[in-house]
Amino acid sequence: MIILITGITSGFGKAMAEKLTADGHTVYGTHRRDVEPMKGVHYIKADVCSDEDCQRAVQQVLDEQGRIDVFINNAGMGIGGPLEFCTLEQARLQMDTNWMGMVRCLHWVLPAMRAQKSGKIICFSSIGGLMGLPFQGLYSASKFAIEGYCEALRLEVKKLGIKVVVIEPGDFSTAFTASRNSVDSPQVHQAYPSYARSLKSIEKDETTGLKPEYLAAMISRIVSKRNPNYHYIISTLEQRLSVFLKAILPPSWFAAILGSYYHL
Q: In this structure, is the dihedral angle defined by the CA atoms of residues 86, 87, 93 and 96, taken in order, positive or negative?
A: positive
- Pick the catalytic residue: 139, 192, 232, 262? 139
Q: How far is CA 36 from the centre of its chain?
A: 23
Q: How far is CA 214 from the centre of its chain?
A: 15
Q: How far is CA 237 from the centre of its chain?
A: 20
Measured at the alpha carbon of residue 137, what is the angle toward residues 165 and 249, in degrees to the nearest 5?
70
Task: Please list the alpha-helical segments (H only) found in 99-250.
Answer: 100-116, 137-157, 176-179, 186-191, 195-207, 212-224, 237-248
Cα(46)–Cα(5) distance, rounded to whole angstroms? 11
43 is catalytic: no
CA end-to-end distance (rounded Å), the chain:
47
Contact 233, 127 (CB under 8 A): yes
Provide the annotated active-site residues: 139
